[in-house]
Structure 1
Amino acid sequence: MERPHLHIIGVLHGDITSLEDAPKNYDDSQRVGILEIFPQYQEGLDGIVPGQTIVVLFWLHQATRDILKVYPRGDRSRGLRGVFATRSPVRPNPIALSELEVRALHGNCVEVSGLDMLDGTPIIDIKKKISR
């Protein structure tokens, strides 16, 4: 089987610099930042507009990748669970998902609110949020 290739399409710029400072989830955050999309992927932003909610997939480049059981949200009273049953950043493929509100676009940069990721986190994809 051919090995998959992951393309980093950009990087996040924000004011969250430590895990302790990061909100536990994007829906708990009003933090603002910039998604800098690399120039070769800028055309992919066509159609994104202010006010829209987008789903952004991030590569948690500082996450531990060899732990398969965690305490949900660090709460030891809840017992150990497999990482696939949690939203823990610790996982074999540390991919995170955030729903972010687009505030403005400036060329290859998208200003967003709702950040819960560390400054410098690589971006692997952006998708339109499905409206129901």
Structure 2
Amino acid sequence: MRSIGVVRSLLADRSEAPRQPDEDAPAAEIVLDDDVCPALVGIEPGDRIELLTWLHLADRSTLSTHPRGDASRPLTGVFATRSPDRPNPVGLHTVTVTAVLGNVVRVDGLEAVDGTPVIDIKPSLGGLGLR
């Protein structure tokens, strides 16, 4: 696996990151490696895309967690949560494209911290129309 780019965000560490994108995740940029830029053809502002990221700050030894970090809730296996801590910490983020500027894709609704490696981009179901 190799990353194709990196997240640039105002979120500096996990403690400030929202748990879900609808919890005021800030606008962010995906800075792609120049060699993958031709793959952006067809991505336009307003499109919904899925970003797959490598959650490099995750604890890979975590197998259970309290949902939403709330210790009053019972422990749940991480495969039943969106926790970034998991054996293979791949993040899946549905975001809206606000601009495509060369090798930079600006998006809304990304709860990943600055420096998170991006491993793939896919259209969200229905997000690009039927292109």
Scaled by the length of structure 2, the TM-score of the pair is 0.92
Structure 2 partner of 1:3:
none
Structure 2 partner of 1:13:
8
Q: Which runs of 4+ in 1 moved over 3 A?
A: none
Structure 2 partner of 1:128:
123
For 2:116 and 2:24, how far apart are their aligned partners in 1? 17
Q: After superposition, give the CA deviation of every residue in 1:62-121 in whole Å (9 maximum; x if it has no partner).
A: 110011111111112221111111111110100111111111111111011112110000
1:20-31 to 2 correspondence within 5 Å? 20-31=15-26
Gaps of 5+ in 2: none
Scaled by the length of structure 1, the TM-score of the pair is 0.91
For 1:129 and 1:75, how far apart are their aligned partners in 2? 30
Structure 2 partner of 1:61:
56
1:1-132 to 2 correspondence within 5 Å? 6-131=1-126
Shift of 1:30: 4.7
Shift of 1:131: 1.7
Q: Residue 126 of structure 1 aligns to which amino acid in structure 2?
A: I
Identity %: 43
